[in-house]
Amino acid sequence: MNIDRFVVGFAGFMVLISLILYVFHSHYWLWLTAFVGANLLQSAFTGFCPLAKLLKLLGTKPGNAYT
């Protein structure tokens, strides 16, 4: 799995987890959903993603978006 696919999969996982926590625990978990969405949006424009940088340092194979 390359960095691009991992980042998108991780973001989707975090959104789903935050929505489950919202339903069963507290409405404050929607802030996590907003944070993930904002990070994806800024990443689309700037090309900077903290998770992609971390994965690159760990030796994950790069993709087309995050090199």
User: What pLDDT, on the 0 to 100 scale, is given for residue 67?
Assistant: 66
CB of 4 within 8 A of CB of 60? Answer: no
For the chain, residues with pLDDT lower than 50 are none
| Best CA proximity match to 54, nearest among 1, 5, 7 | 7
CB of 67 within 8 A of CB of 4? Answer: no
**pLDDT tens, 14-33?**
999 999 999 999 999 999 99
Q: Is the pTM of this model over 0.95?
A: no
User: What pLDDT, on the 0 to 100 scale, is given for residue 11?
Assistant: 95
Angle at 30 between CA 45 and CA 40, to 5 degrees: 15
